[in-house]
Amino acid sequence: MIKNYLKQWNVMRLIRLLLGLAIIVQGIWTKENAFIMLGIFFTALPLLNIGCCSTGGCSVNTQKTQKPASDVTFEEIK
């Protein structure tokens, strides 16, 4: 199960995790509870693999079209 969980990690997800941890550390150093809570929130997002696009609303269509490439004609402007 752990191997399957770690297969889904990518570079952006790791960066999001590190930024969340950095916010938590900054909140602890400055003794600001708001930053600590915000850091916990931003750390939970990559751990749970959720975010603004978790519902697939902004996913890009991955289907490849089989349309043949058409010739492009250019007009010379003088």
* pLDDT above 90 (res 20): yes
pLDDT digits (tens, 9 = 90+) for 50-60: 876 655 556 55
pLDDT value of position 5 = 66
Token pair 């960066």 in the structure block, residue: 15
Global pTM reads 0.62
pLDDT digits (tens, 9 = 90+) for 34-50: 999 999 999 998 888 88
Instruction: Write out 4-28 in H/E/C secondary structure.
Output: HHHHCCCHHHHHHHHHHHHHHHHHH
* pLDDT above 80 (res 64): no
Cα–Cα distance measured from residue 2 to residue 24, given in angstroms and rounded to the nearest whole number: 25
Buried (b) or exposed (e) across 48-63, using 16+ Cβ within 10 A? eeeeeeeeeeeeeeee
Cα–Cα distance measured from residue 12 to residue 10, given in angstroms and rounded to the nearest whole number: 6
